[in-house]
Amino acid sequence: MAIDKENIKKMFPNLYRELEDGENKISIDALRKNPQEAEEYAQDEDKQIVTPSPKTGTTDKLRHFNPQAVDFIRRCDTTEQAEEIITYLEKRGEITREYAAELRNKLERDGVRSFGPKKEENHYFKEGGIC
């Protein structure tokens, strides 16, 4: 089923405008092949680049944030919850079997808090300065 531009414009005017303006395009200038390295980078807040938003002038460090396995694990209270998260991500193909095994080993060996302090409710709103 082919949809022409005019139908898209009528059905999804905001989406059409965003696509045409090109304002929300993101360039990808890096690639990490090692998931462990990517997780470590995501955990190290000193390495993350924070730039002011052109619209508000304030920093928006969560603008392109995409939570990784460790981010989800840090929301868990128990080892069982963390294991469930790892199994879910592995089943969906979001993490490799090898990486899942590494996470499970660390979880078993060092516990759920070894991934970092617990991310409480509204963590990202607080980080983003929304509340």
Q: Domain map of the chain by residue range?
A: 33-127
Asked if the model's pLDDT at residue 64 lies above 80, the reply is no
Which residues have CB under 8 Å from 2's CB, separation 6+? none
Q: Is the dihedral of CA 65, 69, 71, 72 positive or negative?
A: positive
Cα gap 35→16, rounded to integer Å: 34
Report, as an integer, the average pLDDT of 73-81.
Answer: 92
Q: Is the pLDDT of residue 131 over 90?
A: no
Looking at every residue in the chain, the average pLDDT score rounds to 77
pLDDT for 102 equals 94
Q: Which of 84, 48, 85 is nearest to 69 (CA)?
A: 85
Instruction: Return the pLDDT at 23.
Output: 65
Residue 112 near residue 73 (C-beta atoms within 8 A): yes
* pTM score: 0.52
